[in-house]
């Protein structure tokens, strides 16, 4: 059928084996969204609103952004893949419920059957998002972005480093050789930096508030440390300059985007002043340059602790919409 542009792929017909023409209606989104009901960590009253994963899924459907066939359900990551990033001692402690008291306090969420399943599923989901992004140019996991998990311990609500597991799994399967992680959560991507330190196959970029958790920030390949209360214009100028430079220095096989909702000005754990519009502009900067360079993007969500959970849900849905809009502008072969 030759090259088509995505925005025209609304309805088209094709010949069937008996000579009839069938109307094929493509899915509403031009890429897959990865979701599992057990992404909800069931934390009860907690500053981390893990019910947001379900709320985002429901909002995408209710608002007609996605339809049921756009979603894929992941399997939990195999332990073999988790062990490509995490130490056997740490994984064993998680599986046998034997973290020390100080390890539990550092993690800041309980170790339970539902949290363990939620993190294993998130890692499986980010891996699946990476695989689907290689096929469709984009894919999004509605969980993930647990960038504070280190090889040997978890911290800051992050038990398993889903993006690390995904990259290592895709590399081991020969699907990708190199990757870049671009992390726009308001908190520094300390676990990501530690996991990939000294690894020339993975470039790490983190843009975050300097005076915020974590206090120890191991160096990423590029760290954009921001002052308190920076707003849209300054943030976007700094970010775009850094992102262009990063992709000038390093041409990866895949982008893993950790799209944090917590640089939002109403966030309870953040100290930056971005608006909803500024956050979506940030997403577009990531997606536009990646698409122009032909690099597939796997999106994961990350922190979001807005006073109103609806705002956090809106920010994450806006990320999906930005990916959709840019994906639809890309030439497709049919």
Contact residues toward Zn ion (CB under 5 A) are: 185, 187, 262, 303
**In whole angstroms, what is the distance from residue 76 CA to residue 72 CA?**
13
Handedness of CA 281, 313, 53, 64 (dihedral sign): negative
Nearest distance from C-beta of residue 28 to Zn ion, angstroms: 30
Of 16 and 308, nearer to Zn ion (C-beta) is: 308
Nearest distance from C-beta of residue 157 to Zn ion, angstroms: 8
Nearest distance from C-beta of residue 331 to Zn ion, angstroms: 35
Of 191 and 303, nearer to Zn ion (C-beta) is: 303
**In whole angstroms, what is the distance from residue 124 CA to residue 146 CA?**
13
Helix 162-172 and helix 113-136, axial crossing angle in degrees, nearest 10: 50
Nearest distance from C-beta of residue 262 to Zn ion, angstroms: 4
Of 70 and 162, nearer to Zn ion (C-beta) is: 162
Of 242 and 270, nearer to Zn ion (C-beta) is: 270
The answer to whether 256 touches 249, Cβ cutoff 8 Å, is: no
The answer to whether 306 touches 268, Cβ cutoff 8 Å, is: yes
Q: Are strands 21-24 and 12-15 parallel, antiparallel or unpaired?
A: antiparallel
Of 252 and 259, nearer to Zn ion (C-beta) is: 259
Q: Return phi, psi of residue 34, to 5°.
A: -100, 125
Nearest distance from C-beta of residue 119 to Zn ion, angstroms: 16
């Amino acid at each position: 059928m030759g090259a088509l542009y995505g925005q025209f792929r609304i309805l088209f017909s094709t010949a069937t084996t008996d000579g009839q023409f069938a109307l094929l209606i493509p899915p509403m989104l031009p890429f897959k969204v990865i979701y599992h009901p057990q992404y909800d960590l069931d934390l009860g009253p907690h500053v981390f609103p893990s019910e947001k994963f379900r709320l985002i899924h429901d909002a995408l459907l209710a608002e007609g952004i996605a339809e049921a066939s756009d979603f894929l359900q992941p399997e939990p990551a195999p332990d073999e893949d988790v062990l490509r990033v995490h130490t056997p001692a740490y994984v064993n402690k998680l599986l046998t419920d034997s973290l020390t008291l100080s390890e539990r306090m550092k993690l800041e969420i309980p170790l339970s059957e539902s949290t363990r399943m939620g993190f294993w599923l998130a890692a499986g989901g980010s891996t699946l998002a990476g695989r689907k992004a290689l096929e469709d140019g984009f894919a999004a996991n509605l969980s993930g972005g647990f960038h504070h998990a280190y090889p040997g311990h978890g911290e800051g609500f992050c038990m398993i480093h889903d993006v690390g597991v995904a990259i290592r799994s895709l590399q081991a399967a020969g699907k990708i050789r190199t990757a870049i992680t671009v992390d726009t959560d308001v908190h520094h991507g300390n676990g990501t930096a530690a996991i990939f330190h000294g690894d020339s196959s993975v470039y790490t970029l983190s843009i975050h508030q300097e005076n915020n958790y974590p206090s120890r920030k191991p160096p990423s390949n590029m760290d954009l440390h921001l002052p308190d209360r920076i707003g849209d214009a300054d943030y976007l100028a700094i970010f775009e300059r850094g992102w262009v430079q990063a992709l000038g220095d390093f041409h990866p096989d895949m982008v893993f985007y950790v799209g944090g909702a917590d640089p939002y000005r109403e966030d309870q754990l953040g100290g930056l002043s971005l608006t909803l519009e500024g956050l979506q502009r940030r997403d577009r900067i990531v997606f536009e340059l990646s698409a122009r360079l032909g690099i597939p993007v796997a999106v994961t969500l990350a922190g979001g602790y807005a006073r109103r959970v609806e705002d956090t849900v809106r920010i994450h849905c806006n990320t999906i919409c930005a990916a959709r809009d840019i994906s639809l502008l890309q030439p497709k072969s049919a």
